[in-house]
Amino acid sequence: MQQNINATRMEMLRLRRRVALAVRGHRLLSQKRDEISRQLVLISRSLKELRQKVERELLETSRRFVMARSTMEPEHVRAALEIPTKKFSLAVQFASVMSVKVPQLTKQIEGDIVCYGFASTSGEMDVALRALERAFDTLIELAGKEKQAQLLAIELQSTRRRVNVLEHVVIPELQATIRFISNKLGEVERDNISRLMIIADMIRGE
């Protein structure tokens, strides 16, 4: 690469500007990398708590449904759950975390999850369905956090690669080229001085 470089002062100034820009980019990307890492640590802590909460709520929901089935006739259980009256849709909005678009999930619900008459059902069925509703809310939150963590992890890998390329390839190569040009210019300057001295000696000899 250095063999094809024009060893001129203009070229050296241009490369020095590129080095300054690369150093600034390296600093900004390093700050971004560190902040994404911090965000991932925070999300990972909340994920652990959310997973534990989901497990507890699903276990409680399962237990409640078992109790409801034990107090109701099988045909009454099927009839109670056969025609749902609650409509559910999921809305996705995006927020920016360190220039990464991360999803924020919100539910939109119409109707009631309790969709049956009370003559042939037990109170345990009501409790079980309410427990399922709570668990579903936590599941939505968990899904959103896990997607955020996945996207931030991908961005972190990309940012780390860019930081490493700047630090170990781009900046060192530019600095080496600048040194090469500086040495070449020094050689040219010394040659010029030597020629001038020879010319001066020749003039004095006349």
Q: Got the DSSP string for 77-98?
A: HHHHHHS---EEEEEEEEEEET
- Check whether domain 8-113+123-205 has CATH 1.10.287.3240, yes or no: yes
The predicted pLDDT at position 144 comes to 87
Instruction: Round to whole Å and give the CA distance between 31 and 144.
Output: 25
Name the band, by pLDDT with cuts 50, 70 and 90, for residue 166: very high
**What would the pLDDT profile of 179-189 be if each residue is shown by its tens digit?**
999 888 888 77
Q: Who has greater pLDDT, 206 or 132?
A: 132
Q: Who has greater pLDDT, 128 or 113?
A: 128
Q: Who has greater pLDDT, 196 or 109?
A: 196
Q: Who has greater pLDDT, 34 or 101?
A: 34
Name the band, by pLDDT with cuts 50, 70 and 90, for residue 117: low
Instruction: Round to whole Å and give the CA distance between 83 and 38.
Output: 47
| Mean pLDDT value across residues 165-176 | 94
| Mean pLDDT value across residues 134-162 | 90
Looking from the CA of 74 toward its CB, the CA atoms found within 13 Å total 0
Instruction: Round to whole Å and give the CA distance between 101 and 98.
Output: 8
Looking from the CA of 170 toward its CB, the CA atoms found within 13 Å total 18
The candidate with the shortest Cα–Cα distance to 54, out of 145, 136, 147, is 136
Which of 123-132, 137-146, 154-163 has the weakest average pLDDT? 123-132
Give the Å distances, CA to CA, from 173 to 10, 19, 112: 18, 10, 66
Name the band, by pLDDT with cuts 50, 70 and 90, for residue 15: very high
Name the band, by pLDDT with cuts 50, 70 and 90, for residue 101: confident
The predicted pLDDT at position 20 comes to 95
The predicted pLDDT at position 74 comes to 74
Highest mean pLDDT range out of 72-76, 83-87, 101-105, 149-153? 149-153
* Average confidence score pLDDT of the chain: 82
| Mean pLDDT value across residues 175-199 | 83
